Amino acid sequence: MNAGEQRVRKPRADVQRNRAALLETAQRHFLRNGVGTSLDAVAREAGLGPGTLYRHFPTREALLAAVLQSLQTCSEELVARQAEIDQLSDADEVLEQWLRAMEEYFSTFSGLSDPLMAAAQAQAPDDPLRIPCDIFISATDKYVKAAQSAGHVRTSIRGYDLFLAACSIAWIKSNGANEQSLDRLRTLLASGYRERDEKA
């Protein structure tokens, strides 16, 4: 590869700076105003025009996916939490803790659960949020199957179902539900997916 090819492939410094500024600004706006924040306001605060924003991120979902990917601390916390969960011996407890970890992650920004559920249900391979959804659904399915093998979860339940349930609780949480109500909802959810003990 010659120097000319390297120059073509490597993004210009100003392009990299613009992208970084947009991501940093978008993160602040998502934290402050939720995922429905004005993208024009994001571009304006970053000192750029809307056209520059849309050249980097053609859709709101593309910007949101990039911001989520750039949130290293949040991602590291989730990975660490999952590693701790994987050390638990009770498959029922593993699934319950994983659902709570997903709920907390889906609460990173107000309204985040909406585009995640839309991406998961649309089955659109080109949706930039589809990849994180697939990762969450696959992990949940693994924990569901382990709990089913242990006799804790109904055989009709799928990881996709509980992914949507965790998104729903995160959505309710972002709309102001108190912790007592959320705990009752979690209990109600668990009573629905757990296998009944016919001896009780």
pLDDT at residue number 48:
95
* CATH topology agreement for domains 3-69 and 72-193: yes
For Cα atoms 157, 159, 165, give the angle at the middle one, nearest 5 degrees. Answer: 85
Residue-wise pLDDT tens digits, 83-135: 999 999 999 999 999 999 999 999 999 999 999 999 998 766 678 998 889 99
How many Å apart are CA 192 and CA 186, to the nearest integer?
A: 10
- Does the domain at residues 72-193 carry the CATH identifier 1.10.357.10? yes
pLDDT value at 167 more than 60: yes
Residue-wise pLDDT tens digits, 16-62: 899 999 999 999 999 999 999 999 999 999 999 999 999 999 999 99
Q: Where are the domains of the chain?
A: 3-69, 72-193
pLDDT value at 184 more than 60: yes
pLDDT value at 200 more than 90: no
How many Å apart are CA 29 and CA 199, to the nearest integer?
A: 53
Find, among 64, 67, 79, the residue nearest to 23 by Cα: 67
Q: Is the dihedral of CA 103, 104, 110, 112 positive or negative?
A: negative
The token pair at 177 is 């539900």
Spell out the alpha helix ranges (H) of the chain: 3-9, 13-33, 39-45, 50-56, 60-70, 72-86, 91-106, 113-122, 130-149, 159-174, 179-193
pLDDT at residue number 163:
97
Phi and psi, residue 153, nearest 5°: -125, 140
Say if pTM beats, i.e. exceeds, 0.75: yes
pLDDT value at 164 more than 80: yes
So what CATH class is 3-69?
mainly alpha
Model confidence at 1, pLDDT cuts 50, 70, 90, reads very low
pLDDT at residue number 199:
42
pLDDT at residue number 198:
44
Better pLDDT: 198 or 109 = 109
Residue-wise pLDDT tens digits, 138-149: 999 999 999 999
pLDDT value at 180 more than 60: yes
How many Å apart are CA 159 and CA 26, to the nearest integer?
A: 31
